[in-house]
Structure 1
Amino acid sequence: MLKRTFALSALVAAMFATPALAQDQDAAAYAQQQMEQMANEPVTDEQLEKFVEAIEHIERINDEFVTALESVETQEQAQELQLNAQREMVESVEETGLSVEEYNALAYRLQNDPEVQRRVEEMREDEDERY
């Protein structure tokens, strides 16, 4: 489960970063710098709870995207699906109360901070036990 979370957080971070890279390299560098700075700040349980909620929504959107991608016939259809999935992921993250930047910083921490990994894993296990 944690490996899937790592993969999805990396996928989403990459998807969120792609438009910024295409629009402006300076903006992308600034976003990366902000993410790294936020990654050094303490992480609250509230932030992680929002992050876990966002991950659950993103997993659902990703699963739907992968399923829909199997039936596309053209590159244009695949790109349209990807843009729609990306838009839905951004909306899902923002609906939790996190910004995309905050989500990306938490995803970075998840990949690089064993304590954050442990806390997220515990929260996800607790969530699974409730349902």
Structure 2
Amino acid sequence: MKPTAILSALFALALAASTAFAESAVSDAQLQKFANAYRSIVTLSQEYAPQLKAAKDAAAAEAINVEAQSKMLAAVEGAGLSKEEYQGIASALQKDPALLQKVNALLKEPGAQ
């Protein structure tokens, strides 16, 4: 299994869409939680990328991938969102440039969490 395919799987949590949630309004508090979870997911993906690249075979890569996804889900929940809420916000960001701009501003805040 190629590392790029494996890394793509790591981002499945962030890219999957939940249309029911995306249709509802997203509060500033939810955006802050999303930004916090997103930061954690980026950190985890950077942590696991070298491990995935160094995996000796597909089974080892899959085990690393499962562990990474589990930690990413824990990061989302630790930020105060469900998986579905996180996915819904990610979907809403793809459809709403103003919302995306708000999240980008939150992500640029130094030391925010």
**TM bracket, shorter-chain basis:** 0.7 to 0.9
Identify the match of residue 67 of structure 2 among 84, 95, 100.
84
Tell me whether 1:69 sits opposite 2:70 in the alignment: no
Q: Which residue of 1 aligns with 2:12?
A: 11
Q: Given residue 98 of structure 1, which amino acid in structure 2 is its aligned partner?
A: L
Quote the Cα distance in structure 2 between the aligned partners of 1:53 and 1:96: 6
| Larger helix fraction of residues | 1
- Aligned residues, how many? 104
In structure 1, the gaps of 5 or more residues are: 1-6, 18-31
Contact 1:52 1:123 survives alignment (8 Å): yes
Q: Which residue of 2 aligns with 1:108?
A: 91
Runs (4+) off by over 2 Å:
9-14
* CA deviations over 1:57-116 (Å, ceiling 9, x no partner): 000110111111121111100000000000000001001110000000001011111111
In structure 2, the gaps of 5 or more residues are: 1-7
What CA RMSD, in Å, does the superposition of the two structures yield over aligned residues? 2.1
Give the TM-score of the pair, scaled to structure 1: 0.72
* CA deviations over 1:24-43 (Å, ceiling 9, x no partner): xxxxxxxx6xx212111111
Percent sequence identity is: 30
Give the TM-score of the pair, scaled to structure 2: 0.82
